[in-house]
């Protein structure tokens, strides 16, 4: 007899009526009724939100086992026939011929025995919380969104590139770094306290290495060979942060497009966010200078006044997305001094071809730019900012040899899931969140 | 005028004949002919292997720029009309109306100026090598395979789970670990040489953390909630290795299936390898004991004689796949002592329900097992092996509360790409390889 996932039973229920089948899952509830003459078991196998009703009575093989194990979250293998349900609330049910208990579950010790447990308690049991309705649903949404992201890029001629997680430099200056090393357990021989130095010759890679903050620079190398590429993988920031919007380990999507400019990436990013079906509204596009004007004329009192040359604060982003426009806003052409070295200088010599997409509730969902493809300007910028030019030589090569205009962006996947699910805390959209002082399992 | 990717031009060439369009790309070659009266430019934009021929003559806008820049790997934007090609070797070509040089490329300094450069030289310029024919093709195959993997699982009712890269333990014992820490630069205050100890209270997570060697244990937690799940992400081994089959950072696919046994994962893995279209032959299935017998009776002299209780050596794997069966072989039911603690003990009390899929050329492509779901046996095994039971309490919980039979496997994605491309060295199938003493860009 064939085993069916419960979502597949529901998807083809009219075709399957009368079919004998196997379903497995966990009991959401088991109700003995009619003075113990029959029972209803609500079976959920995690494949969808909805549970499948199973009807059993003393003729069902395994009936005694059921009567002795009526706790929620016991696990079962059920054989039976799918029939139209005589009861209300469901169109089909399984008339059980056999029931087999796979695993018991004592409500006295099971942390999830009670219903409607608060999310901050569930956060302390990351290995069990996907069994709850909220996390189960969020996990399924996350998986669907991730696949949608891949589909979008693959259907639009992009190639998926696995940029490295272990990197040799922090050129972007995007934040604090985690070191990756095999020396920590060998500090007695590899660390010299007198001059506070490590003998990196004894480290695995024979040089200092870190967890990446972005795959962009390496993705650029591939865009300058393959055209349109994207990365989709974990990135890291060792920033002390206790907000609801930051993680130390999070998943980023970073497309990079050769022969493209800032307009192209704005369109690509908006296209992606429409494709994955989280929003329908067209995005407002607003130059940074106009955004500052608008904030200054809003008559709104901000804690940090909006001023040309400063980055937008959360309160400004909120005002733009939530109060003024009531939807996503693309702010572009930021002052060069608040943006990264690789962004393309505009003709005004003071702004760069950068854009951020601000979302209601989540703040910055996307950050992108056209990249500086002019080698002289790029080298000038690296020098001005006092960056380590030698470690960027490979990056500069991309401009020296058949360089092309190109542009890209980074999209925080966890924020996308946050927006799609409505979950407030970003720690609730990733299976095992990593944050300051917090790493379980 | 619309820009087309070159692969899209070829895909719809008969429909597009007569259309004015824009194509961009890098010149593979530029040939001035007819005493400089016309030119052929072979344009490649990385979207496919094949280049598009562009015809230009002195009436083409930008002709002078072309005449001055005939080096390979210069980059161009071309406007023109797609026409049937009068020449042989291609069915269509672009008659250029305009040519714009985007980036020059001096053959004197360009490391890729020469054709047919050896792979080991190309390995020293990982940022440029995707521009070569071999790496470009390997990159496109890698991207296609990765998407195929996602499609397989999504179409078979699996949910994609992002297990953490930063972990708190090495329970699997799968190999040496990289430490992840923010203390390295603070050794003068956080390290006490007298007792060789770190003050992990000052570390980012307030405890020792590592790069994961496998997402399996966490994937099990999700399988025990959502049913069928898979991970697809980077994993790490800090093992000194200079072979052609090992990387320090590599991508793994780890499906985990609830309500499933060893047979189920064998079928799922074989199904995956057929779905991604790298092999057609059915896989041979062979119990470990029978494999040992077969090797002993083969009459073949091995450096390391095959003996019950020892792991199969590379020479044994090669004999089975390449000489005896001439195709993939699934070896199952290994002695418990050479396998991990979480594998399910068979009724013979000496083997476990484990399987490896051995491939010609690549060796072990897949390793999987049914997991021990019986809490008493699992605890016994943890104690026998002297593992840190307290850090596994969360894992054991999965058996205490509604436990279910479940099974899963790990497939090394880079080895899959190696097999599909025929590239011998695994460092040639991943963009920026990380290995002992080797981390560039």
Structurally, how many domains does chain A consist of? 2
Q: How far is CA A258 from CA A150, A242, A254, in A?
A: 19, 37, 13
Query: Are B303 and B383 members of one domain?
Result: yes
Q: Is the pLDDT of residue A347 over 70?
A: yes
Asked, for residue B191, whether it belongs to a domain, the answer is no
Q: How far is CA A437 from CA A433, B200, B202, B216, B407, in A?
A: 11, 10, 9, 24, 33
Closest residue in B to A203 (Cα) is B437
pLDDT band at A176 (very low <50, low <70, confident <90, very high): confident
Which residues constitute the domain of residue B95? 6-103
- Mean pLDDT in residue range A318-334: 97
pLDDT band at B115 (very low <50, low <70, confident <90, very high): confident
Query: Are A139 and A255 members of one domain?
Result: yes
Asked, for residue A88, whether it belongs to a domain, the answer is yes
Q: Is the pLDDT of residue A89 over 90?
A: no
For Cα atoms B191, B197, B199, give the angle at the middle one, nearest 5 degrees. 60
Residue B156 phi/psi, 5° resolution?
Answer: -105, 20
Q: What is the CA radius of gyration of chain A?
A: 27
Q: What is the pLDDT of residue A190?
A: 96
Here the tokens at position A411 are 């999209």
Q: Is the pLDDT of residue A171 over 70?
A: no
Q: Do B226 and A187 touch (CB under 8 A)?
A: no
Query: Are A98 and A136 members of one domain?
Result: no
pLDDT band at B176 (very low <50, low <70, confident <90, very high): confident
CATH of the domain at A21: 2.40.50.140
CATH of the domain at B378: 3.30.930.10
Residues 353-382 in A contacting B (C-alpha not used; CB under 8 Å): 373
State pLDDT tens for residues B217-254: 999 999 999 999 999 999 999 998 888 989 999 999 99
Residues 97-126 in B contacting A (C-alpha not used; CB under 8 Å): 102-106, 109-110, 112, 125-126
For residue B15, give how far its alpha carbon lies from the nearest alpha carbon of chain A (Å).
19
ipTM of the complex: 0.97
Asked, for residue A183, whether it belongs to a domain, the answer is no
Q: What is the DSSP string of A213-230?
A: S-SHHHHHHHHHHHSEEE
Q: Is the pLDDT of residue A413 over 90?
A: yes
Q: Which of A3, A204, A439 sits opposite B166 (nearest CB)?
A: A439
Asked, for residue B435, whether it belongs to a domain, the answer is no
Count of C-beta atoms within a 10 Å radius of residue A317 = 21
Q: Do B234 and A233 touch (CB under 8 A)?
A: yes
Asked, for residue A260, whether it belongs to a domain, the answer is yes
Q: Is the pLDDT of residue A400 over 70?
A: yes
pLDDT band at B171 (very low <50, low <70, confident <90, very high): low
Final residue belonging to a domain, choices A103, A119, A153: A103
Q: What is the pLDDT of residue A170?
A: 64
SS3 B325: coil
Q: What is the pLDDT of residue B89?
A: 86
Query: Are A227 and A363 members of one domain?
Result: yes
Query: Are B142 and B78 members of one domain?
Result: no
What region does A5 belong to: left with phi over 0, alpha with psi -120 to 50, or beta?
Answer: beta
pLDDT band at A419 (very low <50, low <70, confident <90, very high): very high
CA B18 from chain center: how many Å? 41
CB < 8 Å to B233, chain A: 233-234
Preferred mutation among B134, B175, B177, B184 to probe A, highest tally of A CBs within 10 A: B184
SS3 A8: helix
- Cβ(A78)–Cβ(A68) below 8 Å: no
Asked, for residue B121, whether it belongs to a domain, the answer is no
DSSP β-bridge partners for residue B367: B356, B410
Residues 6+ apart with CB under 8 A from A278: A145, A416, A419, A420
Query: Are A266 and A413 members of one domain?
Result: yes
Query: Are B234 and B270 members of one domain?
Result: yes
- Cβ(B217)–Cβ(B172) below 8 Å: yes
Asked, for residue A441, whether it belongs to a domain, the answer is no
- Among the listed ranges A37-46, A164-173, A388-397, A404-413, which one has the minimum average pLDDT value? A164-173
pLDDT band at A169 (very low <50, low <70, confident <90, very high): confident
Query: Are A377 and A420 members of one domain?
Result: yes
Asked, for residue A199, whether it belongs to a domain, the answer is no
Query: Are A42 and A158 members of one domain?
Result: no
SS3 A44: strand
Q: What is the CA radius of gyration of chain B?
A: 27
Token pair 């992606």 in the structure block, residue? A272
pLDDT band at B116 (very low <50, low <70, confident <90, very high): confident
CB < 8 Å to B253, chain A: none
Query: Are B159 and B224 members of one domain?
Result: yes
- Mean pLDDT in residue range B298-320: 96
Q: What is the pLDDT of residue B380?
A: 97
Q: What is the pLDDT of residue A393?
A: 95
Query: Are B261 and B365 members of one domain?
Result: yes
Query: Are B149 and B266 members of one domain?
Result: yes
> What is the enclosing helix (H) or strand (E) of A413?
helix A413-421
For residue B136, give how far its alpha carbon lies from the nearest alpha carbon of chain A (Å).
7
Burial class (CB in 10 A: 0-12, 13-18, 19+), B368: buried
pLDDT above 90 covers a percentage of chain B that reads: 92
Average pLDDT of chain B, as a whole number: 95
Q: Which of B112, B431, B434 sits opposite A161 (nearest CB)?
A: B431
Q: What is the pLDDT of residue A173?
A: 59
């Amino acid at each position: 007899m064939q085993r069916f996932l419960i979502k597949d039973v529901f998807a083809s229920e009219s075709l399957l009526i009368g079919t004998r089948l196997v379903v497995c899952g966990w009991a959401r509830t088991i109700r003995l009724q009619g003075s113990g003459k029959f029972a209803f078991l609500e079976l959920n196998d995690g494949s969808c939100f909805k549970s499948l009703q199973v009807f059993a009575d003393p003729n069902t093989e395994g009936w005694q086992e059921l009567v002795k194990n009526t706790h929620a979250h016991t696990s079962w293998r059920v054989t039976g026939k799918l029939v139209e349900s005589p009861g209300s609330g469901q169109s089909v049910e399984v008339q059980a011929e056999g029931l087999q208990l796979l695993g018991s579950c004592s409500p006295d010790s099971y942390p999830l025995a009670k219903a409607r447990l608060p999310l901050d308690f569930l956060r302390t049991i990351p290995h069990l919380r996907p069994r709850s309705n909220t996390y189960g649903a969020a996990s399924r949404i996350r998986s669907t969104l991730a696949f949608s992201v891949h589909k979008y890029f693959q259907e639009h001629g992009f190639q998926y590139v696995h940029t490295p997680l272990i990197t040799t430099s922090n050129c972007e200056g995007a934040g604090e770094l985690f070191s990756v090393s095999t020396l920590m357990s060998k500090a007695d021989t590899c660390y010299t306290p007198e001059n506070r130095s490590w003998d990196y010759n004894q480290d695995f890679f024979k040089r200092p290495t870190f967890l990446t903050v972005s795959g962009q620079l390496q993705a650029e190398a591939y865009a300058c060979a393959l055209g349109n590429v994207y990365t989709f993988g974990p990135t890291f920031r060792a920033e002390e942060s206790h907000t609801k919007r930051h993680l130390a380990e999070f998943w980023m999507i970073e497309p990079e497009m050769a022969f493209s400019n800032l307009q192209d990436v704005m369109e690509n990013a908006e296209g992606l966010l429409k494709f994955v079906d989280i929003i329908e509204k067209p995005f407002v596009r607003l130059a940074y200078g106009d955004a500052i004007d608008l904030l200054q004329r809003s008559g709104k009192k901000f804690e940090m006044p909006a001023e040309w040359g400063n980055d937008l604060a959360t309160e400004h982003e909120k005002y733009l997305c939530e109060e003024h426009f009531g939807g996503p806003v693309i702010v572009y052409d930021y002052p060069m001094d608040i943006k990264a070295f690789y962004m393309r200088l505009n003709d005004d010599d003071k702004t760069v071809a950068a854009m951020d997409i601000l979302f209601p509730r989540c703040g910055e969902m996307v950050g992108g730019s056209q990249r500086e493809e002019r080698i002289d300007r790029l080298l000038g910028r690296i020098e001005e900012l006092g960056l380590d030019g030698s470690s960027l030589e490979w990056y500069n090569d991309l401009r020296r040899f058949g360089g092309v205009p190109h542009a890209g962006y980074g999209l925080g996947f966890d924020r996308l899931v946050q927006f799609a699910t409505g979950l407030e805390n970003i720690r609730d959209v990733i299976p095992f969140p990593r944050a300051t002082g917090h790493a379980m399992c």
